[in-house]
Chain A
Amino acid sequence: MSTESLRNARTLNDSVNEILDRYASMVYRLAFAKTKNRFDADDILQEVFLRYIRSTPDCRDEEHRKAWLIRTTINCSKTLLTSAWFRKTAPLEDKLYTHMKEHSEVYYAVMELPEQYRTIIHLFYYEDYAVADIALLLGCKQGTVKTRLHRARNMLREKLKGEAFDV
């Protein structure tokens, strides 16, 4: 085993707390962007990390681990959204108030987008993924990601007239 792989093996065997320190916020923010409420994001956070522990994915590197966690977050959210789609229908304020005291128009505008657009906006603008990566993460074609990104931007421009016009 090379020094490099030894080091990798060690880093990847990080303690539970280190993994949580590193990724809990990431998972939580994505889950929140998808579900728009704290309770569901709490649930998804737990489910994702418990799955991580139980399935101990063979992560080659940090990037791979991150991708696994994002993909799993998306899957878990999907499960929840299809079961609890109704939560999406409560007025926005109800779901956002817990976290949204001092948020800008921008976040509200994103949260008003349909769910599939929010995810792409989040991965693109917050997680800094390229279109090709987003396509892989979502399991769809790059063209689809682009179309959605384009539509999402148009909707955001419409919503944010005058503000943050550089979407």
Chain B
Amino acid sequence: MFRDKYRADNQKIEPDDALLKYLSVRMSDAAAEQQEPPVVRTPHKSRLFRGVAALAACLALIVSAGGLYIVFDDKKQEPDVTPEEITKVKTGISYTELYKLVKSMEPEKESGFGFFDGAQSNGVINEDANGFETEGKRLRTAPAQVGSNADSAAREDYSKTNTQVGGVDEADIIKTDGNFIYTLSNGRLIIVSVDGREMKKVSTIDCTKYADKKDGSRPVEMYVNGDRLVVIKDVIDERKTDAGFAPEIDVYRDMMRYSTHTSMAVYDIKDRSDPKLLSDLGQSGGYLSSRMVGKTLYLITNHYINETADKDKPETFVPMLYNNGKGRVVEAGDITVSVKPEGRQYIVVTAVDIGNPTERLSSKSVFGCGSTIYASTENILIASGSQKVTTEGAPLVTTIPESEEKVEPDSGAQSADYSPAAKPRLDSINSGENAVLSELGNPLEGRKITYSSVTNLMRFSLNNGKIELAATGSIPGSLLNQFSMDEYKGYFRFVTTRNDYTEYTSGSGNQATVSVSGGDTSNSLYVLNSKMEIVGRIEDVAKGERVYSVRFSGDIGYFVTFRQVDPLFTVDLTNPASPKILSALKIPGFSEYLHPYSDGLLFGLGKNADENGRVNGLKLSMFDVSDPADVTEKHKLMLSEYWSEASYNHKAIIVSPQRELIAFPADNKYVIYSYDKNDGFSKSAEFFIGENDYNLRGIYIGSVFYVCSQTSIRSYSMDDYTKIAMIEYYTNLK
């Protein structure tokens, strides 16, 4: 009856037809890409799995209850260096010690954790530079076709990638320098001149070429800075990881097929019509993020070891650095073991001067993992989510798996092959369980396990390219995204959401029950000093809700939590040791992106919600924050559109107080709104974009607005938004 009901209910759950059709097209495309022409896979449209891949990998050991047992099993091997022993930063570790450490963390049979490290970081959409090139240089060095630039003065005014921190550029798929638009599309980088009202394709770079391999890489994001262009690429390693990896389970081996490293190809684009590759510097691991400060590029990857460590081959347990495809092992002196490692992973952080990109300024590897990156001009913070498990009452008995296996009625079924073994019938399982619990006499009686979320932090100081791991620390709760972190006047601020729950075992024998309580969320703000020690805090804010957006602006921090109505909290951080909540504005819905506008205004893009907390469409808000103690929602506008990439990717939106313009993709459109301090928001234009056009970005240069997609650029006059021209790179790209 239970089974029947559960099945019947499941039958009612079906994927959406339209989604299936869309997926079918994408799969056919992807299948076509696998054959012949080396084409990049279509960048991701959904919000899925950005840099969190690494996080998942490092949580894998901890999150599943099975993982708990794995940890204990490892102890039995008594390696010289156990993860538990290393609770502080340790540098100068030798390859031998690293080998032992990595070895101690290798799973016995379970595997598949490294799965995400591989061809996973596709679709990472990052953002663009704040234009560090000096205008004089750009104009001087640009090729002849720019010379005819009639209104260069007007065209100095162009939009840049929306970044979190001034002076710290972020990579994106589309960039402009006011004279050219650079687009990553279909495995290629396309440079289009946007001289006056005409658009012309100037050159194309095939970004799938890596070293001597024709289809060796896939472009992810790029930077344009003066006469340098940097393409960040996933490199596909087809090396199979056969060795020692759960060989009896093919399922796992398939998943391990690819491992990647990430490279940055630096081009000289002095002559836009003939870009020259200067160097291609790679490093182990999947792409996490990157930043550019001045002419220094910082690349951060997460390297998961998905093969069995071999004592005599450091490359099996130490990250590699590649120069134009040739690899070498990271020197032991550049490796640090941090905090308490939770998986066989390294964070690799590298600095390169793009003016002189033949060698790295520095590269540091830290044994540990990361998922969310914040960077100022001085520091990079790498955060990773984890879970703290604490046990009270009866000890966490490590013998459970063993003793259960003793009475395993079908223990022989763990055969070498993955095949549906003889299925034990329900009753035999029941009796097996009862036998287990009776035999143990319920050693779990009264056991209480608390799971709490924590965020581990690493601070790297940049020192103009000489990266050093400066401090590590940890705060309760989980971060939402990079905007949850901030640096200001030597202090670091974080907003987290805690989600703790407790498992309690009671009764004995077959009456034993496990009750789970908690799951209540609450939100906190922490101020840390440069040693990553907590110096100020606000805790237990908005219980039962979680954070939807965060933005720090100097001495003030804003964050939005949501369950049914949207409290926008305004926090005074003037005194780092005692942050204070100044106000909490409650309005329906919530903002998912906050952007300091001007003159005491804060813009929010989010969702509207009805009184039951049910979401019903996008919403624009302008908050009056001129009096932090009395924040009001000055203007708002509900949109009929439901979805926008800008909700989770800040690089997809333009917020320009100078132009009084807010532009972003929404549903299958690109929309432009104007904002007037008295009259509020009004729609200036909306452009319907073809079904196959995705990854939309808007750019304005002078008085022309460009809507860039993966297949084309359309230009519109900003006077009345009439179409001027269109250039299409691919007509048949689906």
In angstroms, Cα B572 to Cα A22, docked, is 56
Q: Smallest CB-CB separation from B22: which chain A residue?
A: A46
Known pairs A79-B52, A142-B414; A16 contacts B64 (CB<8 A)? no
Provide the bound-state CA to CA distance between A156 and B2, in Å.
10
Chain B residues in 8 Å Cβ range of A49: 23, 27
B48–A47 touching, CB < 8 Å: yes
Given contacts A79-B52, A130-B424, A131-B424, contact A139 B15 (CB under 8 A): no
A147 within 8 A of B: yes
User: Are A20 and B20 in contact (CB-based, < 8 A)?
Assistant: yes
Q: Smallest CB–CB gap between B445 and chain A, Å?
A: 14
CB-CB under 8 A from B250, the residues of chain A are: 58, 60, 64
Judge whether A125 and B31 touch: CB under 8 Å: no
Closest to B406 in A: A143
Whether B436 is near chain A, meaning CB under 8 Å from some CB there, is yes
Contact (Cβ within 8 A) A50 B26: yes
Contact B24 A57 (CB under 8 A): no
Are A142 and B405 neighbours in the complex by a CB distance under 8 Å? yes
Please tell me if the beta carbons of B404 and A143 are within 8 angstroms of each other in the complex. Answer: yes
* The residue from B6, B19, B23, B420 contacting A130, defined by CB atoms under 8 A apart: B420
Does residue B77 face the partner (Cβ distance < 8 Å to A)? no
Q: Is B514 an interface residue (CB 8 A)?
A: yes
Give which listed residue, A50, A83, A125, contacts B56 with CB less than 8 A.
Answer: A83
Does B732 belong to the interface (CB within 8 Å)? no
Chain B residues with CB below 8 A from A86, complex form: 478, 480, 497, 499, 521, 546-547
Which residues, 405 to 432 on B, are CB-close (under 8 Å) to A? 405, 408, 410-411, 413-414, 418-424, 429, 432
Which A residues touch B3, using CB under 8 A?
A: 125
CB distance from A89 to the nearest CB of B (A): 5
Quick check: is A12 within 8 A (CB to CB) of the other chain?
A: no
- Docked Cα-Cα span, A143 to B418, in Å, equals 18
Residue A82, interface by CB 8 Å: yes
Q: Is the CB of A82 within 8 A of B9?
A: no
A77's closest neighbor in chain B, by CB?
A: B56
The interface residues of chain B lying within 8 Å CB-to-CB of A150 are: 433, 437
- Beyond A24-B15, A142-B411, is A94–B614 a contact (Cβ under 8 Å)? yes
- Chain A: minimal CB distance from B473 (Å): 20
Contact A42 B519 (CB under 8 A): no
Q: Is B535 an interface residue (CB 8 A)?
A: no
Which of the candidate stretches B201-209, B254-262, B318-326 sits at the interface with the other chain? B254-262
> Smallest CB–CB gap between B389 and chain A, Å?
13
Residues of B within 8 A of A154 (CB): 512-514
Secondary structure of the A contact surface, majority rule: helix
Q: Answer yes or no: B249 CB below 8 A from chain A CBs.
A: yes
Residues of B within 8 Å of A167, CB to CB, are 2
A55 & B254 in contact (Cβ 8 Å cutoff): yes
Q: Given A25-B14, A41-B15, A55-B254, A141 and B614 touching (CB < 8 A)?
A: no
Q: Which of B15, B41, B422 contacts A25 (CB 8 A)?
A: B15
| Number of residues on chain B facing chain A (CB within 8 A) | 102
Q: Are A24 and B64 in contact (CB under 8 A)?
A: no
**Interface mask (A8-45 → B, CB under 8 Å = 1, otherwise 0):** 00000000110010001100110011000000011111
User: Please, how many angstroms separate the alpha-carbon atoms of A12 and B405 in the complex?
Assistant: 36
CB nearest neighbor in B for A54: B30
Interface hits, A102-128 → B, CB 8 Å = 102-104, 106-107, 110, 114, 116, 121-122, 125-126, 128
Mark A61-89 against chain B: 1 for CB-CB distance below 8 A, else 0: 00110011001100110111011011011
Question: A107 and B6 in contact (CB under 8 A), knowing A90-B563, A140-B64?
Answer: yes
* Cβ-defined contact, B405 with A63, below 8 A: no
Chain A residues near B153 (CB-CB < 8 A): none
Contacts of B132 in A (CB 8 A): none
CB within 8 Å for A67 and B251 given contacts A24-B20, A150-B433: yes
- Whether B7 pairs with A43 at a CB distance below 8 angstroms is no
Q: For the complex, what is the distance from the CA of A67 to the CA of B249, rounded to whole Å? A: 11
Kindly provide the distance from the CB of A61 to the nearest chain B CB, expressed in whole angstroms: 9
Contact present for B30 and A50 (CB under 8 Å): yes
B597 adjacent to chain A (CB < 8 Å):
no
- By a CB distance below 8 angstroms, the chain B residues around A128 are 423
The 5 closest A-B pairs by CB, nearest first: A140-B66, A143-B404, A83-B52, A130-B423, A139-B110
Query: Which residues from chain A sit less than 8 Å from chain B, CB to CB?
Result: 16-17, 20, 24-25, 28-29, 32-33, 41-47, 49-50, 52-58, 60, 63-64, 67-68, 71-72, 75-76, 78-80, 82-83, 85-86, 88-91, 94, 97, 99, 102-104, 106-107, 110, 114, 116, 121-122, 125-126, 128-133, 135-136, 138-144, 146-151, 154-156, 158, 160, 164-167
Given A94-B614, A144-B65, 9 further pairs, Cβ under 8 A = A20-B24, A63-B420, A71-B251, A89-B521, A126-B7, A136-B251, A146-B436, A147-B436, A155-B513
Cross-chain pairs A/B with CB under 8 angstroms, 27 sampled: A20-B20, A28-B13, A28-B14, A28-B15, A29-B13, A50-B26, A50-B41, A53-B27, A54-B119, A75-B56, A78-B56, A80-B49, A86-B546, A89-B497, A107-B9, A125-B2, A125-B3, A130-B413, A131-B424, A131-B429, A141-B66, A141-B404, A143-B436, A144-B65, A144-B69, A150-B433, A151-B513
